[in-house]
Amino acid sequence: MDKGFESLKDVLASLMGSQGLPFDLRDCEIWNVWDEVVGDAIASNARPMHIKQGSLTVGVREPIWQQELKYRAET
């Protein structure tokens, strides 16, 4: 029996069918650069949750951080 490798592309294609991935792989980069982009204070209290229709949803530890992020977005 041949135990050759199958490419990840082929495995994902078979799992997802012809519709492809349900998200843009480029959006995944936010998780890799989050700490660097937002700084230590925000990174330790807020995390990216998901991107839907071009909008990033961020989860926070405490409600005060939601207020802080809204304030910073306005300035």
Indicate yes or no: pTM above 0.75: no
Residues paired with 48 in a beta bridge: 58
Residue-range definition of the domain harbouring residue 49: 24-74
Task: Tell whether 1 is covered by a domain.
Answer: no
Task: Tell whether 3 is covered by a domain.
Answer: no
Task: Tell whether 46 is covered by a domain.
Answer: yes
What's the rounded Cα separation, in Å, for the pair 48 and 29? 11
How many domains are there within the chain? 1
What is residue 71's predicted lDDT score, i.e. its pLDDT?
94
What's the rounded Cα separation, in Å, for the pair 60 and 5? 41
CB atoms within 10 A of CB 66: 15
What is residue 12's predicted lDDT score, i.e. its pLDDT?
72
Task: Tell whether 70 is covered by a domain.
Answer: yes
- What's the pLDDT tens digit per position in 17-61? 666 666 677 778 888 999 999 999 999 999 999 888 888 899 999
